[in-house]
Structure 1
Amino acid sequence: MAARTPNDRLARLIEEAGFSHKSFARAVRDASEHAGTPIGCDHTSVSRWLQGMQPRADAAGLIIATLSRVLGRTVTLSDAGLTSSTKLPLDLGLTYPEELAEGVETVTQLWQADLDEASVVLKGQISAPAWNDASLAWLLAPPLSVDAGGHGARVGDADITRFRATIDLFAQMDNRFGGEHARRSFIHYLTTDGTRLLRGQASEKTRRRLFSEVAEATLLAAWMSYDSGLHGLAQRYFVQALGLAQAANDRLLAASILDAMSHQATFVGRYREAASLARAARQGTTGVATPTLTAHFHAMEARALARLGDASACDRALAHAVREFERRNPDDDPEWIRYFDDAELAAEFGHCFRDLGRPVVASQYAAQCLGSSGDGTYLRSDFFATMVLADAHLGAGEAEQACSVVLDALKLGEQLRSARCASYLREFAERLASVGKSPALAGFHEQAADFSLWRQVSGAQ
């Protein structure tokens, strides 16, 4: 039998955290009880881990959770010299859960796999059938039965309120600084507190409220992963968020998740699937969705149709969006859709008309939504609208004006860490390259080189 190699990484972390073997074993046991999955370990177990024995997957997760909490930073399995002893299925997270217990186990495993940087989820590709299967399952599946929960600590309204407030803080950072800024910290939070809450005990009413909040949190994880360019992982989060929303019996949130799937499908070039997802969201909420939500569903369908080049169908979808939007009463809307105002609708029109080759009208709509928040709250949205305006000017043959607008976008982009922002800029750079050379454009390239985002997409150092 091959000799084990001492785990020096784990030893250094335990020492840095100020633990003895006994106190570390006790801290891991306490963490397991807090998570509702008690395990037995003592100072002998710690000695074996330090000698190179790999702990079980559940123990490994508790080890890094304990170290992360005490050290005040995210510690991964790799940091601690540990490996997951569980072989992850290639389709982890891509299957819509048929039972609640399956959904809880899948989403918690997905969070942990993400935190562990498992290649199965970080490097996985988009699966078009997963979109279709999830939307069909949601439309046809009966409500999931919700019981009192697992064997963990009792979960009450105060726990959920704290969880909600924390999610809101991460959402604000996502909007202001991009999905790449705090994504890993967010996943770490879900892996610890999200798992604890899902495995806790509560009444059926509290459990449904909990699943609604965790569904929103997993939806945010999907958006942040999508914004970071991790499209296969984002799709898995979207599917699991949909299942959690069904467990919460939150039809409107579930439809909004399908709507978000449509957004991603358009971005990655799966336009027909994107249109179908937006239609499924609308069909599944007939008679219950607010006009604002229905308007957004039509707008997402229009985005996909514009990319397909189907101008007449896109125009019809936009007309439906306007008709619904004019009936809206924001007081009737869920909190999470109230951001969708006149400026946001204008932004959707700008995207559609740009993609349909109507630069003049695209620029008019894009200009309407620039800086609408005024305080930088939706900095990334301002960046997108500015880039659409630049694209519209370029499409109209106004290259110098387009470049001037892009410089404005680059100033916004200095605070953003977003693969989507880089993609918008990369598309512009490719179109600009076909314009040819001029003194004015040379001056633009010189100024743009001062911005890290432009250097990233242009290959300049």
Structure 2
Amino acid sequence: MEGNEDLAALMREAGFLKGDGSVGLKVFARAVSRHSDRTYTHTYVKRWLGGMVPRDDMTRRAITRALSERLGRAVGLSEVGFGTAEKVPAHLGLSYPDKAAEGIAIVGSLWQADLANTTALLNAPTNVGAWNEASLSWLVAARHDTANGSGKRRVSPGDIAGVQSMTEMFDRLDGQHGGGHARRALIEFLRTDLAALLRGSYSDETGRELFKVASQATLLGAWMSYDAGLHGLAQRYFIQALKLAESTGDRLRGASILDAMSHQATFLGKYREAANLARAARMGTETAGSPSASAHFYAMEARALARLGDAAECDRAMSAAVREFERRNPEDDPADWFAYFNEAELAAELGHCNRDLGRSVDASTYAAQSLGPTESGYVRSDFFATMVLADAYLDQGEAEQACRVALGALEIGEQLKSARCQAYVDEFRQRLDRVGNSATVRDFAEQASNTRLWHPEDARRAPNLA
């Protein structure tokens, strides 16, 4: 049975999974119920075996006590695949693993602790040193290794295609509804299905393909955690995704993860680190032949430099981004996952940069282009560009137009569960405060009061529930 193999092994040892499986599940459910003030059925047991981690500590403890009673020895939470907040080291996932096998173990522990709602992990801050160590380790890596699993299950191309399809589905959900919408469901999938494959057996060639989809799925988990405001956890997922990518030998794949780290660092106000991460991504792929990737790396560097107020260097990076973008041929570009980086996305990046440099007219021009005939294809991206446009209009003194645009963004945001979206709204609110208590502002505030994102206490609470 796939899923929580640790729990399954202990239940077999205790005699709950021999003979008629359904009878054993019912017996185990009754045993667990005796150690709790709740009643469980065989359906609950199936879910636990499938990889679902009970959210409440009472249920987790009842499961270990039922097993301890039958086995005649103490059984800990980590032994049944649940783990505890107390046993999760504060540095879990921050270090860049030396070996692929170590990386598999670490990311598995992260998924497990995440599903167990480990407070120390969910509330963890980011660590600047971890960004530096990971980027340097990736840059100087001399070789890649793939852990040849010794498990009984033989991994097939169909298994890998299944992970790819699921990752693409969650990616669409993320873009349309935000990282807080289905983040936990993705992590549950990774903890069960992907973890089982990584523990399986595979050839070197199959292993490289498996690690490609594993790195991409883990990267998506990092993005969704970042978007949900779980920044320390997201950083850990980014780092482990980078190691999985290194194990494929695909430098562009790893560079795309450094690029994502740069994005998060800029969001968190770590602008110099963000610029360096983007530069590391570019330096590590100078001969890779991907203008699309190079353009995005320059754009991320520009975003950080704009926030620093370094107009000259930002202009240099923006010009390089445009130059590389004009060279690209999506059909021949080896970094096919950068295909989303179209004209609308580039315009959005340039709009952000010009807004942050105080060039409000240029910012509104680029933001409007981003929302023009070539759509980004992502609801959340449209929200960001629309808020940049509203900011730019405010900076131009066009309060009425800015408020109209912002209301449109807030309407888009009704379907998004995203801490990043809330941050854009907060930034607009700060700009609006400088306008004063005009009739336009009062009218906007009245209409905005009916939207979720204008109430930060509601919008910020939602992402962590997913």
TM > 0.5 between the two? yes
TM-score (norm 2): 0.85
- For 2:295, the equivalent position in structure 1 comes to 295
Once residues 137 and 64 of structure 1 are traced to their aligned partners in structure 2, the CA distance between those partners, rounded to angstroms, is 43
Paired residue total: 420
| CA deviation profile, 1:344-382 (whole Å, cap 9, x unmatched) | 1110100000000000010000000116565x8400000
Q: Deviation at 1:238?
A: 0.3
Once residues 303 and 399 of structure 1 are traced to their aligned partners in structure 2, the CA distance between those partners, rounded to angstroms, is 25
- Shift of the 207–35 alpha-carbon distance from structure 1 to 2, 3 Å rule, reads farther
Once residues 80 and 164 of structure 1 are traced to their aligned partners in structure 2, the CA distance between those partners, rounded to angstroms, is 36
Amino acid at match of 2:100: L
Work out whether 1:131 is the aligned partner of 2:104: no
- Shift of the 36–300 alpha-carbon distance from structure 1 to 2, 3 Å rule, reads farther
For structure 2, the 5+ residue unaligned runs are: 17-23, 37-42, 62-76, 460-466
Q: Deviation at 1:286?
A: 1.0
| CA deviation profile, 1:91-133 (whole Å, cap 9, x unmatched) | 1111101011100000011011101111221011110000000
For structure 1, the 5+ residue unaligned runs are: 1-26, 54-62
8 Å contact from structure 2 (residues 360, 395) kept in 1: yes
- For 2:151, the equivalent position in structure 1 comes to 151
Give 1:216-365 correspondences, 5 Å limit.
216-333=216-333, 334-365=335-366
Once residues 94 and 143 of structure 2 are traced to their aligned partners in structure 1, the CA distance between those partners, rounded to angstroms, is 20
8 Å contact from structure 1 (residues 362, 389) kept in 2: yes
Once residues 41 and 202 of structure 1 are traced to their aligned partners in structure 2, the CA distance between those partners, rounded to angstroms, is 31
Work out whether 1:76 is the aligned partner of 2:18: no
Amino acid at match of 1:305: L
Percent identical pairs in the alignment equals 52
Work out whether 1:211 is the aligned partner of 2:191: no
- For 1:56, the equivalent position in structure 2 comes to none
Match of 2:455, SS? Answer: helix
Once residues 230 and 298 of structure 1 are traced to their aligned partners in structure 2, the CA distance between those partners, rounded to angstroms, is 26
8 Å contact from structure 1 (residues 371, 382) kept in 2: no
RMSD between superposed Cα atoms in Å: 2.6
8 Å contact from structure 1 (residues 176, 379) kept in 2: yes
Match of 1:81, SS? Answer: helix
Match of 2:430, SS? Answer: helix
- For 1:140, the equivalent position in structure 2 comes to 140
- Shift of the 115–147 alpha-carbon distance from structure 1 to 2, 3 Å rule, reads closer
- Shift of the 38–68 alpha-carbon distance from structure 1 to 2, 3 Å rule, reads closer
- Shift of the 373–234 alpha-carbon distance from structure 1 to 2, 3 Å rule, reads farther
Once residues 65 and 269 of structure 1 are traced to their aligned partners in structure 2, the CA distance between those partners, rounded to angstroms, is 45
- Shift of the 268–33 alpha-carbon distance from structure 1 to 2, 3 Å rule, reads closer
| CA deviation profile, 1:156-175 (whole Å, cap 9, x unmatched) | 00001011101100000000
- Shift of the 288–409 alpha-carbon distance from structure 1 to 2, 3 Å rule, reads same
Work out whether 1:369 is the aligned partner of 2:370: yes
- Shift of the 163–356 alpha-carbon distance from structure 1 to 2, 3 Å rule, reads same
Match of 2:47 among 62, 67, 73: 67
Once residues 37 and 103 of structure 1 are traced to their aligned partners in structure 2, the CA distance between those partners, rounded to angstroms, is 25
8 Å contact from structure 2 (residues 318, 350) kept in 1: yes
8 Å contact from structure 1 (residues 252, 289) kept in 2: no
8 Å contact from structure 1 (residues 228, 419) kept in 2: yes
8 Å contact from structure 2 (residues 295, 324) kept in 1: yes
Match of 2:296, SS? Answer: helix
Once residues 35 and 255 of structure 1 are traced to their aligned partners in structure 2, the CA distance between those partners, rounded to angstroms, is 38
- For 2:67, the equivalent position in structure 1 comes to none
Give 1:436-455 correspondences, 5 Å limit.
436-455=436-455
Once residues 337 and 35 of structure 2 are traced to their aligned partners in structure 1, the CA distance between those partners, rounded to angstroms, is 47
- Shift of the 401–93 alpha-carbon distance from structure 1 to 2, 3 Å rule, reads same
Moved more, 44-53 or 173-182: 44-53
8 Å contact from structure 2 (residues 390, 402) kept in 1: yes
- For 1:197, the equivalent position in structure 2 comes to 197
Once residues 243 and 36 of structure 1 are traced to their aligned partners in structure 2, the CA distance between those partners, rounded to angstroms, is 29
- For 1:13, the equivalent position in structure 2 comes to none
Q: Deviation at 1:253?
A: 0.7
- Shift of the 38–69 alpha-carbon distance from structure 1 to 2, 3 Å rule, reads closer
- Shift of the 289–152 alpha-carbon distance from structure 1 to 2, 3 Å rule, reads farther
- Shift of the 74–265 alpha-carbon distance from structure 1 to 2, 3 Å rule, reads same
8 Å contact from structure 1 (residues 115, 187) kept in 2: yes
8 Å contact from structure 1 (residues 36, 196) kept in 2: no
- Shift of the 66–289 alpha-carbon distance from structure 1 to 2, 3 Å rule, reads farther
Once residues 134 and 291 of structure 2 are traced to their aligned partners in structure 1, the CA distance between those partners, rounded to angstroms, is 24
- Shift of the 422–393 alpha-carbon distance from structure 1 to 2, 3 Å rule, reads same
